[in-house]
Structure 1
Amino acid sequence: MHSLALLTLACFSPASFAADVPGSRDLERVPRMPDAQIVDYRQTTDLERIYPLGSIRKISGQLRFDGQVDARGNTTSVTYELPPEHSAIQAFTAAREALQKQDAQLLFWCQARDCGESSLWANEVFGNAKLYGADNGQSYLLLRLAPPADNTLIALYGITRGNRKAYLHVEQFEANASLGNLLPTSATLLRQLKDTGVLDLPRLVGEPDETWLRLLSRALNLDTGLRVTVAGPQAEAWRQALIDQGVRAARMEAARGDAAGLHLELLR
């Protein structure tokens, strides 16, 4: 009887009744990791929001980063505590892949110490102390949704705290006005290429664009050991233009394919 009583108590322990915070819900575009729990949910309207496009640091009491998206609009944020069997990077990767399948454009992606101090992301950017953890246990990504929802941004922040609890913070920002032309950083393009093996740029359908040429050539020259195939309707023109921008010809091969725009693939 004693062991049965213990078993009964275990089955109905407080953890078994763990529930999302009242009034919370998942964001439509980001699937929830199995057994994850919403521990923080916030909605704000018509507020100014700044999303960094670079590693953050504090100098003389002021936040500093290389670039930013600054706009006014409505924000919905969801913070998940992950079950012990799932890590922050697993949840972060699953969310990123789901958004990329919806053709969301990556604007800035950093991991670990490349992001700066976790305390600044938690307290200054997201205003949520639950997100403070080890600097080398963090990941941040800012994406722009595909048209016609391209005035919406989604920020992802994954973190493992010192107590080993892992969290994924998902924030959706709907701007009141057009966000205009937003470009990814070269380091983000390189991280995407190295992590996923491909760089798909379906909007680059025409002749090589000077701005994108600079971004891509810088990205490829950040790691001169990488070799890629270049595919798309204007593949050879892009390849030659990248050579003119200083990327060694031996590092790029033109490839056949039915890519809608420019498509780079890592040669392993």
Structure 2
Amino acid sequence: MRSLSLLTLCCFSPLLFAADVPGSQDLPIVPRLADAQIVDYRPPVELERVYPLGSIRKISGQLRFDGQVSARGQTTSVTYELPPEHSATEAFTVAREALQKQGAELLFWCQARDCGESSLWANEVFGNSKLFGADEQQAYLLLRLAAPKDDTLVALYSITRGNRKAYLHVEQFEAATPLGELLPTSATLLRQLKDTGDLQLLRLKGAPDDNWLRLLSRGLNLDTTLRISISGPSAEAWRQALISQGVRAARMETGSLEGTGLHIELLR
């Protein structure tokens, strides 16, 4: 009778015997979903690292993308295999929201075929064949942590493979020298606005900045159906500046949200 019980347990409760790869551990800044298993762990090592800021493709044997962040520093990575009850999208969202609550800034965010080929992300960017799956089932995000840890980047990559197994890859990079100014892409600002409903740009405390003005106007004009509210100490100045950059006045209104920096809210 006891042997039958053990056989039943082995057949129907495999997660009870699942274990993380030896020596692995979570990154403290990103929570682990329940029952997720670490299937690949790479401890801190100093590397020259390149993170794409655009869709990737290969032309004449060379990896190509529109922009990048490149620096030398310490890299640590963790790859989770997710249990069937959690999707790759869910794990990606939980990780993103946790990092944003810590003040991390989004630099580049793509999903599905907008990212390029999954095989290139898996093998060329992250060097991990477990991350190769369907192009339409992937997402990538590069974030910069808030000061005083603003020389640290975090890359998230989620994928669902053809066998329906889902993975989340988390990579933390601590630059050896200051990263300097890093700006998000216009498409990333638009994706963040549409997905989360707002943009909290705490560094934009004064008069309109030319670089940010170009990024915001381009992002808003990628979807001319959106209407927004702009709040902050210089909200009206930003609204007028965006009008001068070709964003229709009828799409924007001045809001009343208090706080430092520029706050852009999507009007539903």
**Aligned residue number for residue 148 of structure 2:** 148
Match of 1:237 in 2: 237
Match of 2:217 in 1: 217
Match of 1:46 in 2: 46
Counterpart CA distance in 1 for 2:182 and 2:130 is 30
Q: Distance in 2 between matches of 1:45 and 1:118?
A: 25
Give the equivalent residue in structure 2 for 1:59.
59
Structure 1 consecutive aligned stretches of length 4 or more whose deviation exceeds 4 Å: 4-7
Aligned: 1:166 with 2:166: yes
SS of the residue 2:96 aligns to = helix
Match for residue 9 of structure 1? 7
Deviation at 1:257, TM superposition (A): 1.5
| Distance in 2, Cα, partners of 1:201 & 1:255 | 15
Q: Which amino acid aligns with 2:238?
A: W
- In 2, the alpha carbon distance for the partners of 1:199 and 1:192 equals 7
TM superposition shift of 1:84: 0.2
Q: Output the CA distance in 1 between the equivalents of 2:257 and 2:247.
A: 22
Residue number in structure 1 paired with 2:90: 90
Q: CA deviation at 1:12?
A: 4.0
1:20 aligns with 2:20: yes
Instruction: Report deviation, 1:38.
Output: 0.3
Structure 1 residues 84-129: Cα deviation after superposition (integer angstroms, max 9, x where no partner): 0000000000000000000100000000000000000000000000
How many pairs align? 266
TM-score by length of 2: 0.97
For 1:43 and 1:19, locate their aligned partners in 2 and report how far apart those are by CA, in whole Å. Answer: 18
SS in structure 1 at match of 2:220: helix
Q: Distance in 1 between matches of 2:6 and 2:156?
A: 39
Structure 1 gap ranges (5+): none
Return 5+ residue gaps in structure 2 as ranges. Answer: none
Q: Distance in 2 between matches of 1:158 and 1:264?
A: 28
Which whole-Å CA distance do the structure 2 matches of 1:235 and 1:15 have between them? 53
Q: 1:45 offset after TM fit, Å?
A: 2.4
- CA contact 1:43–1:74 (8 Å) conserved in 2: no
Inter-CA distance 7–267: structure 2 relative to 1 (3 Å threshold): farther
Aligned-pair CA distance for 1:16: 1.7
Shift, 1:17, TM fit: 1.1
Amino acid at match of 1:122: A
Superposed, which structure 2 residues align to 1:49-198 within 5 Å?
Answer: 49-198=49-198
CA distance in 2, matches of 1:232, 1:262: 5
- 13-22 or 57-66, larger mean C-alpha shift: 13-22
Where do 1:31-42 residues align within 5 Å?
Answer: 31-42=31-42
Alignment TM-score, normalising by the size of structure 1: 0.97
| Secondary structure of 2:240's aligned partner | helix
Match of 1:258 in 2: 258
TM-aligned CA distance change 1:265 to 1:24, over 3 Å = same
The verdict on how the C-alpha distance between 1:197 and 1:6 changes in structure 2, with shifts beyond 3 A counting, is: farther
The whole-number CA distance in structure 2 between the counterparts of 1:128 and 1:154 is 17
Identity rate of aligned residues, in percent?
A: 76
The CA distance in 2 between the partners of 1:8 and 1:208, in whole Å, is 68
Further displaced range: 138-147 or 9-18: 9-18
Residue 5 of structure 1 deviates from its aligned partner by 4.8
